[in-house]
Amino acid sequence: MSTTPDLTIIGGGLAGSEAAWQAAQRGLRVQLYEMRPTVSTGAHQTGDLAELVCSNSLGSRLPDRASGVLQNELRRLDSMLLECAEAAALPAGSALAVDRAAFSRLVSGRIASHPRIEIRRQEVTGIPSGPAILASGPLTSASLSKAIADLTGEEHLHFYDAIAPIVSLESINMEVAFRASRYGKGEQDEGDYINCPLTQAEYEAFVAALISAERIQLRDFEKEVEGGVKAGAHHFFEGCLPVEILARRGREALAFGPMRPVGLTDPHNGSAIGYHSGKRPYAVVQLRQDNLAGSLYNLVGFQTNLTFPEQKRILRMIPGLEKAEFVRYGQLHRNTFIAAPKVLRPSLQFHRRADLFFAGQITGVEGYLGNVATGLLAGWNAARLLQGQSPITLPVTTMLGALCHYITHADLADFQPMKANFGILPPLETDQRMGRRERAKAYAERAKLDLDRFLEELEAV
């Protein structure tokens, strides 16, 4: 791009990539900065745009699930990344799981080939003076973190995020493990997940080993100053707890969490798996396909910060994984987000500078879909602002509108990253008593109608 860009975007992750596409599609000349692979983050493994780190699932596709509602909104708003995700989708029951490498390649190719987007592979250490979107992500570099802290006048908040191990399919003992989806919701006859059942004795031994296992020591961010930025107290985000931390909450915590055994039947002995059914399987570890070739599987919900030797020793206690080959071990890394309720508007504009937007996980949204969605809104609003139109704020009855409202209105005293969920939507205007699923369908229908109505009114202006 030989001329000065209309818009600078920092960060080539999910939010930055979607923002760049949306802005360019609306006629802006965009420069997209991504520091990888020149500068690594410690969690990413490639230099591809929109690389997925923690999981390969974008949540349930079901229209009466919160993630399904947000997916439908992204589809209605012409999200490029959702289109790429669906093109790289893997069998995963009702979930939208993708081949990580294929997804990132698709996004990278679309961005690189856009005539109004220029990709620059270099670290940005300061806040651009012109129109910009900061989508630097939860692993923002120390220099840029300091610049953001200086800009906002607020200390950053911190939490720790974890990723789950990945094993090779050929190393899984299928004489013990079996394929099935909960309640038969898989797309394949044999089911989309590989399940490793445990007896009560095996489960209790596994939990005991987790609790006593050696963990990688965390640095004390309360005492450490990185790049001149003093960090706040560290804590774990509830939606991504390491499995060993969850195990410490009680003997049954895992059996009612990632190892819940409901909705499955073990074909090796025909027993229905249940919490206290008295039958052989007492708990289950599920593995989900991680690549299109079907050669790699990740342990669902098994984020961990155990040392690598301990991961190998303890996870091989799981029946079916006795000889598991670990392609990637679980890891823990620090995620950073701003005090959005103090410094952002629901349009994702910085409160003291209308031409500066924030998007993605650094705003306090959690989950892949939330990152994509806020990137979409920031890119759209930046284009509207630069073309003489007012930035939009979506109805709070939509999932994206509710997310943006939450992160900009939450009480800072207990502000934590938030993913799409029905709890952030306004109550339904009805006195009718509803069951949980019926209520979810009503929320989903209201969100769809209100988004359609909002877009129709916007087009009429």
Q: Are strands 7-10 and 30-33 parallel, antiparallel or unpaired?
A: parallel
Amino acid making up residue 460: A
User: Which tokens hold the place of 232?
Assistant: 């706040």
Q: What homologous superfamily does CATH list for 7-154+338-460?
A: FAD/NAD(P)-binding domain (3.50.50.60)
Cis status of the peptide bond prior to 427, with omega within 30 of 0: no
Check: CB of residue 334 under 8 Å from CB of residue 398.
Answer: no
86-106 pLDDT per residue, tens: 999 998 889 999 998 999 999
428-448 pLDDT per residue, tens: 887 677 888 898 999 999 999
**Residue 311: C-alpha distances to residues 216, 281, 394, 400 (Å):** 11, 23, 44, 37
**388 burial type by CB count under 10 A (0-12 exposed, 13-18 middle, 19+ buried):** exposed
**Residue 298: C-alpha distances to residues 78, 289, 324 (Å):** 30, 7, 11
B/e letters for 209-225, b = 16+ CB within 10 Å, e = fewer, are bbeebeeeeeeebeeee
284-305 pLDDT per residue, tens: 999 999 877 788 899 999 989 8
109-128: average pLDDT: 95
d(CA 43, CA 332): 8
Check: CB of residue 136 under 8 Å from CB of residue 221.
Answer: no
Domain boundaries, the chain: 7-154+338-460, 163-334
User: 14-25 vs 100-113: helix axis angle to the nearest 10?
Assistant: 30
Mean pLDDT, the chain, integer: 86
* SS3 at position 75: helix
Residues whose CB falls within 8 Å of the CB of residue 279, separated by 6 or more in sequence, listed in order:
271, 272, 273
365-378 pLDDT per residue, tens: 988 999 999 999 99
